[in-house]
Amino acid sequence: MSKIGIYYGSTTGNTQEVAEEIAKKLNVDKTDLHDVSKANADYSAYDVVLFGSPTLGYGDLQDDWEDYIDKVKEADLNGKKVALFGCGDSSSYSDTFGDAIGKIYEVIKDKGCQLVGQVSTEGYTYDSSEAVVEGQFVGLLIDNDNESNMTDQRIALWTEDLKKVI
C-alpha cells in the first residue's frame, strides 16, 4: 500500500478521533498523523495525503486550518492522491454542512493531485453544502452530533473504498 499522511484540525476532538480511526483502518503509523496546528506542508514523504477538518459556525474552517490552508496553497501536491474528510452538524447547520472540506477542495483541486474518496450524498440529511461537487461529497462527512450511530459504518466503508484506489 502507498505511504499515507493524515493531516487534521480539531477543536472539540471529534475530527481527531475520526482521523485516528481512519489511521487504524488504513494501518497508518501514528508518526504519519499530523495536527495541522503543528504541521508543515511538506508532503514529499507521502503518496497519499488525507486532509480533515470540522466545519465550525456557519461554514467556517476550523481555527488551525485558517492558518494552515495558506501552507496548502503553496505546497506541492502534484502527482499525489488526496482524500478529504470532515465533521459537521447536519441539523443545526444544515445549510453549511461540511463546508470546510469544500473550502479545502477549492484550494487543492487545481494543484495536480488526484482527488479520491468522494462519497454519495445518499443517506445524509442536510440542506446545502459547499462539499458537494457533481452530486457527491468531495470526501467523507461525519455527523457525531446527530448521526453518531452511522460513524463507524461510514468510516469503515470509506476506508475500504480508499484501499481500492490508493
- Beta-bridge mates of residue 116: none
* Residue numbers of the domain that contains 123: 4-165
Number of structural domains, the chain? 1
pLDDT tens readout for residues 115-146: 999 999 999 999 999 999 999 999 999 999 99
pLDDT tens readout for residues 28-86: 999 999 999 999 999 999 999 999 999 998 999 999 999 999 999 999 999 999 999 99
> 149: domain CATH number?
3.40.50.360
Residue 49 contacts residue 5 (beta carbons within 8 Å):
yes
- Which residues are CB-contacts of 149 (< 8 A; sequence separation ≥ 6)? none
